């Protein structure tokens, strides 16, 4: 992991900040241990890239804790899928690159329902926002 400020800066500078209603989640094991999340955009707090719109379906990978793998040092935060996987709604900081949507510095959180204001404000300190599950 890196300094908490690196992750706070990533949230502040992320070009896309949205809330999604999760659709079906397929657990697709990758070499690094990840889950592909599918969801529909229900709130847009920021979209500097003009890459998303309300109702749009998005899909991106979330790095998860893999109990069978030896953790390798990196700047990615791995999420507990037993916790995050229960969330019907998620809030995420994203970017688009080469036509695909990607998570910015692992910044995703489970939320109970869509909110008018972000559950995780972009200026929140720390590694991750805890969400409100």
Please check whether residue 123 lies inside any domain of the structure.
no
Tell me the three-class secondary structure of 66-85, residue by residue.
Answer: CCCCCCCCCCCCCECHHHHC
Please check whether residue 45 lies inside any domain of the structure.
yes
What pLDDT, in 10s, does the model give residues 16-62?
A: 999 999 976 555 445 568 888 999 999 999 999 999 999 999 999 99
Q: How far apart are CA 117 and CA 127, in angstroms?
A: 20
Q: How far apart are CA 62 and CA 33, in angstroms?
A: 9
Please check whether residue 119 lies inside any domain of the structure.
no
What pLDDT, in 10s, does the model give residues 51-85?
A: 999 999 999 999 998 877 776 777 788 899 888 98
Range of the domain at 31: 4-111
Closest CA to 115 of 86, 89, 77: 89
Q: How far apart are CA 76 and CA 2, in angstroms?
A: 9
At residue 25, the pLDDT reads: 54
Please check whether residue 117 lies inside any domain of the structure.
no
The H or E element containing residue 41 is strand 34-47
Tell me the average pLDDT across 118-124.
Answer: 93
CB atoms within 10 A of CB 51: 17
Please check whether residue 75 lies inside any domain of the structure.
yes
Q: How far apart are CA 26 and CA 81, in angstroms?
A: 12
Please check whether residue 121 lies inside any domain of the structure.
no
CATH of residue 71's domain is: 2.40.50.120
Number of structural domains (the chain) is 1
């Amino acid at each position: 992991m890196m300094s908490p400020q690196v992750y706070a800066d990533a949230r502040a500078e992320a070009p896309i900040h949205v809330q999604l209603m999760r659709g079906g989640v397929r657990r697709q094991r990758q070499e690094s241990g990840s889950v592909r999340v599918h969801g529909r955009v229900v709130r847009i707090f920021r979209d500097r890239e003009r890459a998303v719109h309300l109702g749009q379906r998005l899909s991106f990978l979330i790095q998860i804790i893999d109990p069978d793998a030896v953790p390798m040092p990196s700047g990615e935060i791995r999420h507990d899928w037993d916790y995050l996987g229960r969330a019907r709604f998620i809030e995420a900081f994203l970017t688009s690159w080469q036509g695909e949507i990607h998570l910015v510095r692992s910044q995703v959180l489970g939320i109970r329902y869509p909110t008018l204001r972000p559950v995780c404000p972009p200026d929140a300190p720390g590694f991750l926002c805890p969400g409100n599950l």
